[in-house]
Amino acid sequence: MDTAMQFDLEVNQNKYLPVGGREMHAVLSVAGQEAAAGDDAPARTDPSRLVEVLVIDCSGSMADPPTKMAAAQQAAAAAVDVLPDGVRFAVIQGTHEATVVYPVTGTLATASPATRKEAGVAVARLGASGGTAMGSWLAAALDLLPSSASTINHVLLLTDGINEHETEEELTRVLRGCAGRFVCDPRGIGEGWHPADLLRIAAALHGTAEAVRRPGDLAASFRESVLAALTKLLPDVRIRLRTMPYAELVFFKQSSPTIQDLTGYADRVDERTWEFATGSWGAEHRDFHLCLRLEAPDDIREQDRLAARVDLVVDGDLRAAAATVLVNWTVDMAKSARIDLSVSQLTGQEDVRQAINAGCDAYDRGDRVEAHAQWAQAVALASKARDEAALEQLRHLVDIEPGGLVRLKEDLSQTDIKVSIVGSVRNPTHPPAPRGPAVAEKICGACLERSPAGSETCENCGTPFTDNPLAEVPA
């Protein structure tokens, strides 16, 4: 199969800043598609290009209750069963050290009816004992991977506990060594794991962190993760950012489909150029949030200035046309007060996520009043933004009555709280906001907030637009 891909880049921002303004936000939308796409079925990579490593936590806590270990065995077997012939794979048993339990040679096996059956037998023999050292598990997975840059390497890691048998510095060192070599999807089960561990691994290794509320859900999660890996066509795509001398990088985050802060994992090319690895890609769309701190180099106003240039780098080559982030210092407050629709959506989702997590933290420390206040605020924000994914997540924590009244659920468990923290980093992917007069919006002259085209009053403060000189503004 020809796995060539085409990419489109688009930057959404309000380029205008008030005179003296220093902070610029922009959303970079990246869309990839197979160059020779045919039917609607998702493209799949050549199985011989995929390497799949399953890392199963077998620490002593996996035996309490025994359903966790049984669920892990069933999930690992389910993942192996969906591997097409030709995929190279291995299974690692994780305790305070890492052991390759299949194949017995300690290398990689090639998927076939025979090897899938043998791996199933090996998984059924897994037992729980020892401690937890996730860095050593990831290092063992790295040691198994081929050196070829064309392979698509995927690691699926399951844990139920705290990374207590190695230091934070050891895990950080391993994550930096693994970054760019494989994508890792960490999964949590039970009540003893730390959401921060899963989110940290997922951010560093460009995967998706998830957790299951019930052990019986784990097999489906494993299957979905492996099937998603089969749709990847490129092992790594990098985003190159070059800033002007008067622009400084504040942060660069993936904002959808999951939130991942990539700032600390950037490779510095030179004084003004960074490259951010984003992991393997298939036919998909992702959004990234860029924040720059700017210092006007002179007194020139009302002119577009280049703040940063964005390129995609695949196998060392530039792909797609470069995208630009602009800045224009203006005295026109009607221009600088506008908030780009994509940026607005993104910051709204971030506000919901922060409220959900603040409620989880409050509930953890026993402050039910604060937890209720934060989750009620999250419900209000998600309802205003029509964020159905966030509302569905919140329904696991609170009861939302038809009139909008929010009540805490009475039977919340630690699993509910931790699953919600991990789930809060998932944002629905939305297409880039269309530009131009076709999507004109209205800005309130009283509070400068935006409302949809056709609104008779401001959604924020209620001021009628009939008395508003700033009413019609193109997006």
| 462: region left, alpha or beta (phi > 0 left; psi from -120 to 50 alpha) | left
Residue 363's Cβ-side half-sphere holds a number of Cα atoms within 13 Å equal to: 26
The DSSP element (H or E) to which 152 belongs, if any, is strand 152-159
Q: Are residues 157 and 68 in the same domain?
A: yes
Percent of the chain clearing pLDDT 70 (strictly above):
89
CA distance 240 to 197: 28
pLDDT at 157: 97
pLDDT at 443: 62
pLDDT at 344: 86
pLDDT at 451: 63
Whether the predicted pLDDT of 64 surpasses 80? yes
Residue 225's Cβ-side half-sphere holds a number of Cα atoms within 13 Å equal to: 30
Percent of the chain clearing pLDDT 90 (strictly above):
68
Whether 428 is in a domain gets the answer no
Distant-in-sequence, close-in-space partners of 465: CB < 8 Å, separation ≥ 6:
442, 444, 451, 455, 456, 457, 458, 471
What is the pLDDT confidence band of residue 137, given thresholds at 50, 70 and 90? very high
What is the pLDDT confidence band of residue 34, given thresholds at 50, 70 and 90? confident
Q: Are residues 181 and 326 in the same domain?
A: no
The pair of three-digit structure tokens given for residue 438, joined into one six-digit string? 């076709």
Q: What is the DSSP letter of 196?
A: H
What is the number of structural domains in the chain? 4
CA distance 268 to 278: 15
CA distance 200 to 422: 11
Strand pairing of 50-57 and 152-159?
parallel
Contact 102, 116 (CB under 8 A): no
Which among 433, 465, 457 has a CA at the least distance from the CA of 12?
Answer: 433
CA distance 112 to 223: 17
pLDDT at 39: 57
Contact 258, 426 (CB under 8 A): yes
pLDDT tens digit sequence for 384-410 = 878 888 898 899 999 999 888 999 998
Q: Are residues 241 and 225 in the same domain?
A: no
Angle between helices 66-81 and 113-124 (to 10 degrees): 170
Q: Are residues 210 and 91 in the same domain?
A: yes
CA distance 247 to 86: 48
CA distance 326 to 139: 42
Q: Domain range for residue 469?
A: 437-473
Whether 179 is in a domain gets the answer yes
User: Which CATH number belongs to the domain containing residue 366 in this structure?
Assistant: 1.20.120.1690
Amino acid at site 451: S
pLDDT at 452: 59
Task: Read off the pLDDT of each residue in 122-127 and give the average, rounded to a whole number.
Answer: 96
More confident residue, 305 or 462: 305
Q: Are residues 276 and 399 in the same domain?
A: no
Whether 35 is in a domain gets the answer no
Provide the mean pLDDT of the chain: 88
Task: Read off the pLDDT of each residue in 313-330 and give the average, rounded to a whole number.
Answer: 88
User: Which CATH number belongs to the domain containing residue 124 in this structure?
Assistant: 3.40.50.410
| 197: region left, alpha or beta (phi > 0 left; psi from -120 to 50 alpha) | alpha
Whether the predicted pLDDT of 75 surpasses 80? yes
pLDDT at 213: 87
What is the pLDDT confidence band of residue 317, given thresholds at 50, 70 and 90? confident
Q: Are residues 274 and 289 in the same domain?
A: yes
CA angle 246, 250, 253 (to 5 degrees): 130
Q: N- to C-terminal Cα distance for the chain?
A: 41
Whether 40 is in a domain gets the answer no
pLDDT at 462: 72
Q: Are residues 288 and 273 in the same domain?
A: yes
Whether the predicted pLDDT of 43 surpasses 70? no
Whether 34 is in a domain gets the answer no
Whether 104 is in a domain gets the answer yes
Q: Are residues 150 and 262 in the same domain?
A: no
Distance set, CA 267 to CA 72, 91, 202, 240, 262 (Å): 36, 31, 18, 9, 10
Q: What backbone torsions phi and psi does residue 315 show, to the nearest 5 degrees?
A: 55, 40
pLDDT at 308: 97
User: Which CATH number belongs to the domain containing residue 315 in this structure?
Assistant: 2.60.40.3670
pLDDT at 26: 96
Whether the predicted pLDDT of 440 surpasses 50? no
Task: Read off the pLDDT of each residue in 184-188 and give the average, rounded to a whole number.
Answer: 96
Whether 36 is in a domain gets the answer no
Q: Are residues 399 and 318 in the same domain?
A: no
Task: Read off the pLDDT of each residue in 323-350 and give the average, rounded to a whole number.
Answer: 90
Whether 256 is in a domain gets the answer yes
Q: Are residues 256 and 388 in the same domain?
A: no
Q: Provide Rg for the chain, Cα atoms.
A: 24
pLDDT at 42: 60
Weakest mean pLDDT among 28-42, 219-233, 315-329: 28-42
CA distance 234 to 244: 30
Task: Read off the pLDDT of each residue in 318-329 and give the average, rounded to a whole number.
Answer: 89
Which among 359, 298, 358 has a CA at the least distance from the CA of 329?
Answer: 298
Q: Are residues 303 and 354 in the same domain?
A: no
Angle between helices 134-144 and 168-178 (to 10 degrees): 20
pLDDT at 1: 37
What is the pLDDT confidence band of residue 433, given thresholds at 50, 70 and 90? very low
pLDDT at 78: 96
Q: Are residues 66 and 108 in the same domain?
A: yes
Angle between helices 414-423 and 341-364 (to 10 degrees): 160
Distance set, CA 314 to CA 1, 154, 234, 276, 334 (Å): 18, 18, 8, 12, 40
The DSSP element (H or E) to which 241 belongs, if any, is strand 238-243
CA distance 185 to 218: 13
More confident residue, 122 or 5: 122
